[in-house]
Chain A
Amino acid sequence: MRLPALVLRNLKRRPLATALTTISVSLGVGLFSAVGALRDASEQAFHRSAGVCDLLVGAKGSALELTLNALYHVGASAGNIPYPVYQDLRQTKGVKWSVPMVVGDSYRGFRVIGVTDDLFQKLEVPDFGKLRFAEGGGFSFSAAQLDDFHAEVVEHAAALAEDEHDHDHEADDGHDHHDHDLADLAAENGWFVAVIGSKVASETGLKLNSTFEPAHNLVEGGGDAHDEAESKVVGVLESTGTPLDRAIFIPAAAFYAIEGHQATEQSSFGGALDPHGLSAIMVRTQAGYYHLQVRSKIKNRLDAQAVEPVQEIRKLFQIVGNIDGALRMIALMVVIVALTGVLVAIYNTMGARQKEFAVLRALGAKRRTILGLVTAESAAISLFGGVLGMVVAGVGVTLASDQIQEITGVAISPLPDLQDLQFLLAITAMGALAGLVPAARAYRTEAARHLSSSL
């Protein structure tokens, strides 16, 4: 019999102890690798979502808040930036494309975002590419059309201010009048349309050609429905696994045309200068020098800032990283406790196995061989436990992977990576180390003494 066979046979002779200790090791290892897999998945997911643009221009304030608000729909908008920032940006050398965003409406908890059609033509999601449609297609609404419409909006606002000044008691009528002009203009151009994310489609039941009325206010169920602003769904996006799946996109013009949006989204940081400003602009620049130049150009402004979403998310994960580090520490403790259990379980058999070791010695086994045999038993339990734990974690992750992919767009691989293999190796080594304690006792067995006693 070869030594590995001998080790396995000895483990098989104590099925209960072997099974229980193996399972206890697998628990710790499974926990460890599941925490790792989920962390990797969430980090990847966050990075993907942040990677749709390399600069995010928005109101001054917290860079992380801006990133989370604009790209992940978390929290309320910090305020607006003046519209000319967008026009400037498009003239700036090194800017490949930019997509403006205006927010403030929601439909059944999903954010309605006013954009231009550059979103469909230019934006690329990492590991996914340009947006694709499960049904229908995008609307067309160019940057030039937005410029024109925005000029119209500003003009109407000026006229409105005059009206209010002249006929204070007739303000309501005038308000209505001007809004209808804008709404009519938007309607004539066919801009009361929407493209919805996959999650929006599955959760609200909206589909191609459905109509809906967005409500002002981002809070779910809150706000009044804009009945004159009924929008028709012209496209349903394929799932990207990013917050884009949870958004409803409409032409920015439709947003400005909707009643109540004038002079509401004001920033306390300077966006107030333009009541018809933008919430944020997603920007893709040319790499290297131009990127820095575009950034510093915006940095010099008092009314806007440019942040790098990927950097912000990286910083966020440095904080979150501590939490999952703590979780992994706990898992490691579980592993250590389990290995102690292995040690004790094997140690307890040593007394009864003196004869076995004595016989092996008498048959020519060296002391070192006996030491190795016992150490290997512990190492084997650790290895099996480790493999089992990873398999269980892998199966769990596989079972959850569809859901994870749907939520995060990240396909997590249940296959072990190099780090997992290193961990497995480390666990096995630690198991061997634990095994040294009973092995040392086996090593000291005096063969002759245990052979003279019968049985």
Chain B
Amino acid sequence: MIRLQNVHKSYRKNGLVTPVLDVPELEIPVAQRVALVGRSGSGKTTLLNLLSGLVKADSGLVQVDDEDLTTMSEAACDRFRARSVGYMFQSFHLLDGFTAVENVELGASFAGRSGPRKEAEQLLVALELGERLHHFPGELSIGQQARVALARALIGSPKLVLADEPTGALDGETANTILDLLLKKSLEQGVTLVVATHDLEVAAAFDRIVRVEDLQ
């Protein structure tokens, strides 16, 4: 269960304050799959960052599973993110020096649990990357990179999976595959899924569409 109340976020630079996001009220029940839409610069990524604890709101309540991320210490937020959040970044951000399986493994490396290697392999095999476990990101196609990023978000069975434009860089067919996988896996594991996209067709496949501009 995610609950946002009177959340305000602005960036300040050289004394200039740029309001970025205002969310008076937003609730997302457990296991709901939500598409976050809005034009570029509307604050989709910022909202995902707020939900992951990577960015702190200036004011208001950001509550995930009864934990208030706005009042939590940074270290506690890190721990929360390590254990409970899977994040698929805009343009994936796989680490170049690490193989596919290692990249996936890294997704579970900071949660303090053991045996992520095996789970990483299983996830990649399930995503039809069994042959590419030890390839480096530079040796993978964009679609394959997307699947590695997906596996990295899913490893460790997080309760909340965030994805930022997961299909933005992909052609239609590959985009559909990734989207199907994302929706299917989250349904199987009962995770709450929040996906930012500017593609309304993509958004249509979700349980619910939240328009960022409409929140305020």
Contact = CB atoms under 8 A, between A and B. Distances in A.
Interface of A: 1-3, 6, 9-10, 12-13, 355-356, 358-369, 447-448, 451-452, 454-455
B126 to A, nearest CB: 20
B89 A9 contact: no
Chain A interface, DSSP helix/strand/loop, else mixed: helix
A242 B91 CA distance: 74
- Residue from the set A6, A13, A356, A359 with the largest chain B CB neighbour count within 10 Å: A359
B106 A363 contact: yes
Contacts of A9: 97-98, 102
Contacts of B106: 1, 6, 359-360, 363
B208 interface: no
Contacts of B78: 361, 364-367
6 contacts: A1-B102, A10-B97, A355-B93, A363-B81, A366-B110, A451-B90
Contacts of B5: none
Given A1-B117, A362-B54, A365-B82, 4 more contacts: A9-B102, A359-B89, A362-B81, A364-B78
Contacts of B105: 1
A344 B106 CA distance: 27
Nearest to B116: A1
A13 B98 CA distance: 9
A30 to B, nearest CB: 30
Nearest to A369: B110
A1 B106 CA distance: 6
B204 interface: no
A18 to B, nearest CB: 13
A365 B74 CA distance: 11
Interface size on B, as a range, is 20 to 34
Contact of B109 (A356, A358, A363): A363
B54 A455 contact: no
A14 B116 CA distance: 26
Contacts of A447: 54
A451 B90 CA distance: 8
A454 B87 contact: no
A201 B16 CA distance: 92
B55 interface: yes
B181 interface: no
A250 to B, nearest CB: 75
B159 interface: no
Contacts of A455: 91
B83 interface: yes
Nearest to B162: A362
Contacts of B89: 359, 362, 451
Contacts of B49: 448, 451
B107 interface: yes
A366 B97 CA distance: 20
Given A363-B82, A366-B75, A1 B97 contact: no
- Residue from the set A9, A13, A366 with the largest chain B CB neighbour count within 10 Å: A366
B79 interface: yes
A356 B109 CA distance: 14
Interface in B34-52: 45, 49, 52
A363 B105 CA distance: 10
Contacts of A366: 74-75, 78-79, 110
Contacts of A6: 106, 109
Contacts of A368: 75
B116 to A, nearest CB: 8
Contacts of B82: 363-365
Interface string B77-118: 011011101010111010101100010011101110000110
A366 B73 CA distance: 11
A359 B95 contact: yes
B87 A448 contact: no
A372 to B, nearest CB: 12
A452 B83 contact: no
Nearest to A450: B93
B75 A2 contact: no
A359 B103 CA distance: 10
